[in-house]
A and B are shown apart, each in its own frame.
Chain A
């Protein structure tokens, strides 16, 4: 009886979803999600909640971090107020279910973009642009003088057992034919304690995590991250496949943050730039980007000045990075792959045309 009823309910929900999907295809910018969010007056954003630099709660009860700033930018662009966000802490096992069931509108939770997560036959996510290119790195004491993987030949390396980290290390070292001794530990705390205790000359984990842990070392400056990146971890905000218009809106809000950095628009000067665009009719690119002319906002179902609102709320991509994980934070991460494409990084916004 119970199962019968749930199946009927599930089927009717599915049918409703299909109908809504058809309506969306026909009506241009008809996004059910967007109207849900504006009707509700707040964005529900899924975050990790306990990840240094990416999402955590400050002493005043406000959420902070790079992932959080993406939520705020989207809320500012859609609702005009970066504070109109309800955060949901999600763990790694429930994050996709929460997105699929519609409990969260947006997942901004250090999620690596992969084929199986993107595919309709897999998790069926729709990924926005990558906001943080992470990768597995290696931390060594400065005094050891080690500069690359070759320098680790024959040396013990601390690694957490049973993780992809351990497998990636083995793969990379085998590729380059470098012999080494893995020292495996059950938890990340044990791994770092062993490294600090001098039981190995290097420790490997995601670069953002290594940088975070390093700040808690007795002498952070005595340790350095090797430039090598052993795996690709593009951490990317995501929505569901079910609402392409909403996915597009999120995608271009994030691109807007990146383009703003490229165009030299910051939280501080965005108003001045807007005045400049309004005054100069020949600044066509800037006028379109800031919504003075053209209908980019309308095409996405957003206000015309959505980029202005997002940048005013949290700053451009570079400012978000610096404030949360870069030089201005305790993590002091290098921009690395997260530089603008003009500086040799991977942050690249397609043209706003």
Chain B
């Protein structure tokens, strides 16, 4: 207790000015927090969230097909748990190999709390709530199993394990949209958090390779390639995303004869992808610029072909430098998906707006927007946390940590 007090004193009340500023700010923050909490617990009517929770989660996805989404969630949770465990079982050689570091234990407690609190707060039926608990148990189980036995996995098995994620993405696409014996669910019925995550993950995954190619193209010695990349990047960066989205929605219908134009959801997802790729290309280019020319020359003089030199020497270093900028790009991409509500797609914001238009919930804007803020914050925080972990893992100068 003592050191904490001493630290507080040193950081907040060291001088008279500090004391005044600290007191003013603390009282301001307390007042605001108190106001929000009082509103949340006395005035707010949370029925709007409880009643529409399915709508916020998956939009208008048909009820009788929603088991597919639960299955997908279970697969994702299992894969996440296994990946988490494997990462701990295979620490980098310069790191201590603790299987359950403190942060992991904290995260677990937090997850269990969420699994207990959210169904209770939403007033979910026991059948649905038990699925939440089941998912949590599954996560912990996979995490434990992978952590316990993952160390014995041979290198080839690890490479195979990494392929689980792209495979899962394809499986997820089939589960969501149907086909292969499953009933087709038209993209016009996708919505809510599912659509937000789907559109942003699609764009994030695809804009990465396109962005890297564009960045390489921009630094290429071939004039056609170079100028093509420059033209593309500058064109996209010169237009606001919303105009590109409108272009995709309204012009394609005229250019392609009826029925040939892809579904509106896919048009929007591709526009997001191409938009993000241009910005990502610049982030990657900054990374490429940070790699000294000597690296490439040394690799070439060792007899590596140009693609091999890029793959093994230049890109790993460049991407590591560009990672923070790229993650920033991904996070803003996730938030940019709210623009889809302006072109009539029912992603999170669109769902929120249609829920607020229900005469039964008129005037419940505060509750709805606050919920949206929490959801978006959660998604973005997860992206941020993941990227920081990745940065630490990729950092060649890391000192072995004690935890």
Interface residues of A (CB under 8 A from B): 6, 9-10, 13, 36, 49-53, 55-62, 64, 86-91, 93-94, 97-98, 100-103, 189, 212-213, 215-217, 329-331
**Residue contact A61 to B60, C-beta cutoff 8 Å:** yes
Residues of A within 8 A of B51 (CB): 59
**Residue contact A87 to B188, C-beta cutoff 8 Å:** yes
CB interface residues, B 331-362, toward A, < 8 Å: 342-346, 350-351, 353-360, 362
Residues of B within 8 A of A189 (CB): 365
- Least Cβ–Cβ distance between A281 and chain B, in angstroms: 45
A-B interface, 9 closest residue pairs, ranked by CB to CB distance from nearest: A216-B363, A101-B253, A89-B344, A330-B359, A61-B60, A56-B357, A97-B250, A216-B362, A50-B353
**Residue contact B258 to A57, C-beta cutoff 8 Å:** no
**Residue contact A52 to B250, C-beta cutoff 8 Å:** no
**Residue contact B61 to A98, C-beta cutoff 8 Å:** no
- Least Cβ–Cβ distance between A269 and chain B, in angstroms: 27
Given known A-B contacts A88-B188, A98-B253, A93 and B246 have beta carbons under 8 A apart: yes
Interface size of B by CB at 8 A reads: 40
A-B contact pairs, 24 of them (CB 8 A): A6-B255, A9-B255, A13-B254, A13-B257, A36-B258, A49-B344, A49-B350, A50-B350, A50-B354, A50-B356, A53-B359, A56-B355, A56-B357, A57-B355, A59-B52, A59-B358, A61-B62, A86-B188, A94-B246, A97-B250, A101-B254, A215-B362, A216-B362, A329-B359
Number of A-B contacts defined by CB within 8 Å: 105
**Residue contact B55 to A52, C-beta cutoff 8 Å:** no
**Residue contact B253 to A97, C-beta cutoff 8 Å:** yes
- Least Cβ–Cβ distance between B274 and chain A, in angstroms: 16
Residues of B within 8 A of A102 (CB): 253, 258
**Residue contact B359 to A331, C-beta cutoff 8 Å:** yes
- Least Cβ–Cβ distance between B68 and chain A, in angstroms: 15
Q: Is the interface of B mostly helix, strand, loop or mixed?
A: helix
Residues of A within 8 A of B365 (CB): 189
- Least Cβ–Cβ distance between A342 and chain B, in angstroms: 29
Q: Is B229 an interface residue (CB 8 A)?
A: no
- Least Cβ–Cβ distance between A185 and chain B, in angstroms: 16
- Least Cβ–Cβ distance between A343 and chain B, in angstroms: 25
**Complex Cα gap A232–B59 (Å):** 36
Residues of B within 8 A of A87 (CB): 188
- Least Cβ–Cβ distance between B323 and chain A, in angstroms: 36
**Complex Cα gap A66–B63 (Å):** 24
- Least Cβ–Cβ distance between B168 and chain A, in angstroms: 26
Q: Is B329 an interface residue (CB 8 A)?
A: no
**Complex Cα gap A64–B356 (Å):** 13
**Complex Cα gap A65–B365 (Å):** 20
Residues of A within 8 A of B54 (CB): 59-61
Give 11 new A-B contacts, CB below 8 A, not counting A94-B246, A101-B258.
Answer: A10-B255, A13-B257, A49-B350, A49-B357, A50-B353, A59-B358, A103-B261, A189-B365, A212-B362, A215-B362, A216-B362
Given known A-B contacts A50-B353, A56-B358, A91 and B344 have beta carbons under 8 A apart: yes
Residues of B within 8 A of A213 (CB): 362
**Residue contact B249 to A215, C-beta cutoff 8 Å:** no
**Complex Cα gap A217–B363 (Å):** 8
**Residue contact A61 to B254, C-beta cutoff 8 Å:** no
**Residue contact B362 to A89, C-beta cutoff 8 Å:** no
**Complex Cα gap A305–B291 (Å):** 75
- Least Cβ–Cβ distance between A67 and chain B, in angstroms: 11
Residues of A within 8 A of B63 (CB): 60-61
**Complex Cα gap A118–B61 (Å):** 36
